[in-house]
Amino acid sequence: MPARRPLRTAAAILCSGPLLTHPAFAEEACCAAPQDAAFAALTGDWGGSRSTLKRNGVELFADYTGEVFGNPSGGKKRGLVFNGLLKIALDVNLEKTLGWPDASFRVSGLSPHGTSGTLRDVGDASVFSSIDAYDSLRLNDFWLEQRLFEGKASLRVGQMPVDTEFGLTDVGALFINSSYGVPSPPITPMPFAAYPVAALGLRLRVEPVKGLYGMAGIYDGNPSPGDFPDPTDGTTGAAKRHGTDWALRASEGTFYASELGFHRSEGAFPGTYRLGLLHHSDTFADVRKDAAATHSGSTSGYYGIDQTLWQKSEGSKEGVSAFLRGTLAEKKTSTMSNSLQLGAVYTGLFSTEDKLGVAFARNKFSPGQITAIDGQEYQPNSETVAELTYLIPLRPYLRVQPDLQYIHRPGGHTAYPNAWILGVRATVDF
């Protein structure tokens, strides 16, 4: 197994979409438990113990995602890889356990493992699997949250991922390619606490009127120097890949995130609309080959729309939903300058819970960069991804997801042939 692995989301979602059944990666993500987790999980109610714990404010979630993917055509070379991800989370309602009103605590861990098909076989910049990450056992969430003003505001402090709250697309969380998790431009090369990395920070969320919300967060500038190279000189620090590198270094700057959104969940055609801004205060080297300048800070922005287009009936899960998301980053400090993702998901093809989705993503590289491969120089332009996927809930605790992807210009250049990627993912809730 390779020593280094791509640092990307996803969220996750099914702690990103496919991971857990996608969001709650979409919102609370590491382990988004089923609504009646005590009975929907493979291990059941533990003889009534799970229900008793839940009544007393303690919930334990775990799931395992395994996948096999291959590229029968294109990329660096043909290959077949296995990847797995174990996620465990403990949620504690502190009002029930300690009498602390409107407070909660979460701790969660991740154990990604396997072989990176992106690094070994395909060479794509987008990272075709959202669970592709460093092989390690990592602490992920470790935070305390206090709700205020009858739930209209909440303050969270501790260690947390940024990509489980900012820049989400609920509909796009179904897809497996990492482009639909955290978009590439904001995190190239900005140290960004996205799967599998979390950062020390503080996040404030307010919802003054139902549906209208604002969020702002401030985070450690480099939560894992062993994973993220310094954006000024490209060096990496000691490789502490266990999520416990708790050091706030002034030399690494600070990461800021903000988002304004509106979510309408009731009535016909629900939808969510988001605008966000990200800024890192560190010094960034110019990404262009012949530019020796450095720049103070790097800023990127994004927008996102999740919209129900058709419902079988009002309030029904069955129907068609679509998403559109775009990002824009500074060309001088970001490897990728902009991206676009869009797609649609049909829920209820053969059952009320299955999902059939098709999506498209385009990641545009900033101009002036040079990539050297086998002694030859290439100037990356753009990488385009198309994905067709189908999520099948075989049991309340088991989901299977066959997936097909096509990547045009892996890595953004012509060094590697266009790649077809075929595989299947399965997730079990324990």
Q: Which pLDDT score is estimated for 227?
A: 77
CA distance 162 to 149: 24
CA distance 182 to 255: 15
Band of residue 146 on the pLDDT scale cut at 50, 70, 90: very high
Band of residue 231 on the pLDDT scale cut at 50, 70, 90: confident
Domain CATH code at residue 125: 2.40.160.180
H or E element at residue 148: strand 138-148
Q: Is the pLDDT of residue 337 over 90?
A: yes
> What is the per-residue pLDDT across 277-327, written as a single tens digit (0 to 9) for each?
999 999 999 998 888 889 999 999 999 999 999 998 887 889 999 999 999
Q: What percent of the chain is predicted at pLDDT more than 70?
A: 90
Q: Is the pLDDT of residue 29 over 60?
A: no
Q: Which pLDDT score is estimated for 229?
A: 78
DSSP 27-57: TT-SS---TTHHHHSTTTTGGGHHHHHHHTT
CB 192 within 8 Å of CB 161: no
**Whole-prediction pTM value?**
0.89
The rounded radius of gyration (Å) of the Cα atoms in the chain is 21
CA distance 227 to 238: 9
Residue 2 domain-assigned? no
Residue 195 domain-assigned? yes
Q: Position of tokens 């390690």? A: 136
Band of residue 40 on the pLDDT scale cut at 50, 70, 90: confident
- Which of the two residues, 9 and 212, has the higher pLDDT score? 212
Count of Cβ atoms closer than 10 Å to residue 299 Cβ:
17
Residue 380 domain-assigned? yes
Band of residue 56 on the pLDDT scale cut at 50, 70, 90: very high
Q: Is the pLDDT of residue 352 over 80?
A: yes
Domains: count for the chain: 1
Residue 1 domain-assigned? no
Residue 6 domain-assigned? no
Residue 3 domain-assigned? no
Q: Which pLDDT score is estimated for 205?
A: 98
Residue 418 — φ and ψ, nearest 5°? -55, 140
Give the range among 7-21, 126-140, 172-186, 188-202 with minimum mean pLDDT: 7-21
- 78-105 mean pLDDT: 97
Q: Which pLDDT score is estimated for 187?
A: 67
Band of residue 39 on the pLDDT scale cut at 50, 70, 90: low
Secondary structure letter of residue 229 according to DSSP = P
Quote helix, strand, coil % in the chain, to nearest 5: 10, 45, 40
CB 353 within 8 Å of CB 317: yes
CA distance 284 to 252: 11
Q: Position of tokens 């639909």? A: 180
From 340, 347, 307, select the one nearest 323 (Cα to Cα).
307
Paired residues of 146 in beta bridges = 103, 155
Residue 4 domain-assigned? no
Q: Is the pLDDT of residue 206 over 60?
A: yes
CB 81 within 8 Å of CB 120: yes
| Dihedral angle computed from the Cα positions of residues 157, 161, 162 and 168, in that order, rounded to the nearest 10 degrees | -130
Count of alpha carbons within 13 Å of 402, Cβ hemisphere only?
2
Count of Cβ atoms closer than 10 Å to residue 3 Cβ:
7
Q: Which pLDDT score is estimated for 269?
A: 87
Residue 246 domain-assigned? yes
Q: Which pLDDT score is estimated for 16?
A: 31
Band of residue 3 on the pLDDT scale cut at 50, 70, 90: very low
Q: Is the pLDDT of residue 165 over 60?
A: yes
Q: Is the pLDDT of residue 397 over 70?
A: yes
- Which of the two residues, 226 and 370, has the higher pLDDT score? 370
CA distance 369 to 132: 25
Q: Which pLDDT score is estimated for 22?
A: 31
Residues contacting residue 277 through CB under 8 Å, at least 6 positions apart: 257, 258, 259, 299, 300, 301
Domain carrying residue 193: 12-429
- 202-218 mean pLDDT: 97
Q: Is the pLDDT of residue 20 over 60?
A: no
Q: Which pLDDT score is estimated for 236?
A: 75
CA distance 323 to 11: 16
Q: Position of tokens 């990641």? A: 363
Is-cis flag, bond preceding 196, omega within 30?
yes
Q: Position of tokens 């020796």? A: 292
